[in-house]
Amino acid sequence: MSKEILNTNGEKLGEITLNENVFGVEPNLHVMHLALRRQLNNARQGSACAKTRAEVSGGGRKPWKQKGTGRARAGSLRSPLFAGGGVIFGPKPRDYSFNMPQKARKLALKSALSARQDQLVVVKDFSTIAEPKTKLMVSALKALNVSGKILIVADTKAAENNYLELAARNIPSVKLLLPSNLNVKDLLEADSVIITESAVNEITERLQ
């Protein structure tokens, strides 16, 4: 399976053969769902905390006598029945994260890449962006004919992509990712995925 390699002016420079084992697998929805859940769960703080009736301060004295008042019997003002009382089965700090086998995580990434095959645009590099100017990035995206939420997978530390990060950071619909940080959530959320030739090679080497 081959894709055109473009420059940021939208001109064709050649073709690249995408590895079928990485970019052409049958997407496994169950594994992708698990990977997405894992990513969202692992990002949760899990710091929500409510006090039980044992932890709320006060409430040591019996509010009124047991009998003779006509009211229901009460032993503490910090009972969950009263305002300011404890919370029954409230949240406590917890760890929501869970693990997935490495093979399953790789399969989820390959499935997501394969599912976005039609929205994938391969570029040689971003060397034409020679200044940290947003308008250069906007014109490059226009030339590549991409719109909506755009994910750019490129090594921003490479010399040829020197100004990519600065040129793209003021565009709210654009997200930059290093090839090593590629994840299922960002791949599935993007309307278009722009990926550099070197990033394709790096991802292929890691996932095949």
**Within 13 A of 14's CA, how many CA atoms are on the CB side?**
5
Asked whether 31 and 72 are in contact (CB, 8 A), the reply is: no
Residue 23 pLDDT grade (very low, low, confident, very high; cuts 50, 70, 90):
confident
Two tokens at 73? 């019997």
Name residues whose C-beta falls within 8 Å of residue 97's C-beta, 6 or more positions apart in sequence.
38, 41, 42, 44
pLDDT of residue 5: 81
Closest CA to 156 of 132, 172, 121: 132
**Within 13 A of 88's CA, how many CA atoms are on the CB side?**
5
CA 207 – CA 30 distance, rounded (Å): 19
Closest CA to 195 of 181, 177, 207, 183: 177
Q: Tell me the per-residue pLDDT of 24-58, one tens digit each, with 9 for 90 and over.
A: 888 899 999 999 999 999 999 999 999 999 999 99
Residues 77, 175, single domain; the answer is no
Nearest 5°: the CA angle 163, 176, 18 is 105
Residues 24, 106, single domain; the answer is yes
Mean pLDDT over the full length of the chain: 89
Q: What is the mean pLDDT of residues 9-37?
A: 87
Residues 178, 115, single domain; the answer is yes
Domain count, the chain: 2
Q: What is the mean pLDDT of residues 2-23?
A: 81
pTM of the model: 0.79
Residues 136, 40, single domain; the answer is yes
3-state class of 101 per DSSP? Answer: coil
Q: What is the mean pLDDT of residues 185-192?
A: 90
Residue 104 pLDDT grade (very low, low, confident, very high; cuts 50, 70, 90):
very high
Containing structural domain, residue 87:
46-95
Q: Tell me the per-residue pLDDT of 113-165, one tens digit each, with 9 for 90 and over.
A: 888 888 888 888 888 888 888 888 888 888 888 888 999 888 888 877 788 88
Residues 52, 153, single domain; the answer is no
Residue 19 pLDDT grade (very low, low, confident, very high; cuts 50, 70, 90):
confident
